[in-house]
Amino acid sequence: METAYITSPLGITKIMGDQDGIAVISVSDVGENEVSVVIPEILKEAVLQLQEYFEGKRTNFNLKLNPKGTEFQQKVWKSLLEIPFGKTISYSDQTKKLGDLKAIRAVASANGKNPLWIVVPCHRVIGTNGSLTGYAGGLHRKKWLLEHENPSTQQSLFS
C-alpha cells in the first residue's frame, strides 16, 4: 500500500492505495504529518483530482476505489456516491433509500467510518432539521466543504 500526504485548505490529506484502488483518504490538522515530496505513481491521479476539487475545477471524482469495510458499510458508502455535488440529504433520507428506516443509527455509524474523505461524500448528509450533525473530520470541515460545493445556499444556511 502506497501513501502520500498533501496539503489542502482543511489540513494535511493522507491518501493510501495500491493497484486495487484508493483505500483511504483522510485529513488531519496541519503539522501532524509531513507533506510528501514525491507522490507514488499509483496515487498521482487521486492527488490531481483532489487538488482540482479544492480549486473549484472538479465536481465529481473518477477514481478506482477500494475502501475496506463490512458489507453493510460498503452499501452505505455506495449510497453516498449518489448524492449530487452541491446537494445534501438527511440521515433519514439516506436510510429510507437504503430500505430500512430503523437502521438510521447504523447508517450514521457507517457514514462516520467512511475511509474516503470527500470522494465518498458523507459530508453531504445532514440532520433532518438541516443541522450539521456528526462528521468524523470535524464540523468546521463539514461546513467548509458544504460551502465550497454550494457557496450561495450554504453560506446563508450556516452563517
What is the tens place of the pLDDT at every residue in 1-58?
999 999 999 999 999 999 999 999 999 886 555 788 899 999 999 999 999 999 999 9
The single residue of 6, 39, 122, 126 carrying the catalytic annotation is: 122
Residue 15 grid coordinates: 491518501
> Residue 4's beta-bridge partner residues?
15
Per-residue b/e over 63-93, b at no fewer than 16 CB within 10 Å? Answer: bebbbeeeeebeebbebbeebeeeebbbbee
Is 122 annotated in the active site? yes
Contact 103, 92 (CB under 8 A): no
Contact 112, 136 (CB under 8 A): yes
111-120 confidence digits (pLDDT tens) = 999 999 999 9
Question: Is 37 in a helix, a strand, or coil?
Answer: coil
> What pTM does this model have?
0.89
